[in-house]
Amino acid sequence: MEGKPYISVLVPVLNEEDSLPELNARLLKVLNEMGNPFEIIYINDGSTDSTPFLLENFHKENKNVKVIEFNRNYGQHMALFGGFEYAKGDIIVTIDADLQNPPEEIPKLIKKMEEGYEVVGTYRKDRKDSIFRTIPSYIVNKITARLVGVRLRDYGCMLRAYRKDIVEYMKMCPESSSFIPALANTFAKKIVEIEVSHEERKKGKTKYSPIKLLQLNFDLMTNFSLLPIQFIGMVGVGIALVGILFALYLFVRRLIVGPESEGLFTLFAILFFFIGIQILALGIIGEYVGRIYHEVRRRPRYIVKRELL
């Protein structure tokens, strides 16, 4: 289709050789049926399988398919930021490459955007993930809703749509790590969430381990709020008051009862508790200091190795 695209579909890809042929065919079918000018931008986030070869063939076969290739793996959200730099559509849709979010749901997002919304989020109907994914995801959703102030059911679903101006606002944010659904909601005023279907992952392996989900939680807490460090400060004040009261209790008890050897292990337990709190506080402070260190170095968030446009 000629002219400026109306829809840009961004697909971050990391070692998804098994699902890419089906994904590309279904995306092209859906977007062609919609009748609007479109582009599909695959962001190859350091794949080591046959993904680069497949993406190059997609580009050769259809000029609406474009490929951005990073020199190494930078993570899903950095891949999307890279795609944002190249997206030209008035509406930008993001979708994972694992086929768990069916491309056939994209028209529902576009229809909702045309009602005047700036961001259209989605929540997964009858989610087909294990409990090891759903529980951490539930925690992430609750934390994100509280920090961002926009109560959505599913911040983890990457099938989302954004207005071009919201994407431009996000591109102004130079931080080295960020969570795109939460960042977009800090700029948008008209936000809605709709239900989409969800399928089991039939090919490939998930790229989000429990450790990565934990890191995502740290990203959310430190990028969008000072609440963790403020909470630790309040806990510190509370523990100090408890410590003073306990010291007074021991002093009065010594005056009344006299010297005694009992309670030694209790004192050790209390001491270890205080030490644990101090280590936790240092860990959270260190997390903030580490992120400041990454920011002041001003290194590029990603490096584009190749473009097929």
Do 261 and 184 share a structural domain? no
Q: Classify residue 202: in a domain, yes or no.
A: yes
**246 within domain boundaries:** yes
pLDDT of residue 296: 77
Tell me: do 43 and 89 sit in the same domain: yes
Q: Using CA atoms, how far apart are residues 41 and 44, in angstroms rounded to an integer?
A: 10
- Examine the domain organization and report whether 111 and 201 are in the same domain: yes
The neighbouring-strand residues paired with 192 are 120
Rounded alpha-carbon distances, angstroms, from residue 86 to 41, 89, 171, 308: 8, 9, 11, 11
Has residue 2 been placed in a domain? Answer: no
Q: Are residues 21 and 152 in the same domain?
A: yes
pLDDT digits (tens, 9 = 90+) for 217-260: 666 666 666 666 667 777 777 777 777 787 787 778 777 776 66
Same domain membership, residue 183 and residue 41: yes
pTM above 0.85, yes or no: no
Predicted local confidence at residue 1, as pLDDT: 45
**What pLDDT shows up at residue 263?**
63
pLDDT of residue 80: 94
What's the rounded Cα separation, in Å, for the pair 179 and 183? Answer: 6
Counting as low any pLDDT under 70, the low residues of the chain are: 1-2, 127-153, 176-177, 203-230, 258-266, 268-269
Q: How many domains does the chain have?
A: 2
User: Within this chain, do residues 204 and 238 fall inside the same structural domain, yes or no?
Assistant: no
Residue 53 belongs to some domain of the structure: yes
The C-alpha angle 215, 72, 42, rounded to 5 degrees, equals 90
pLDDT in tens, 60-91: 999 999 999 999 998 888 999 999 999 999 99
> 200-215 pLDDT, tens per residue?
777 666 665 666 666 6
Domain that holds residue 262: 227-297
Give yes or no: residues 163 and 50 share one domain: yes
User: Is the separation of the CB atoms in 122 and 154 below 8 Å?
Assistant: yes
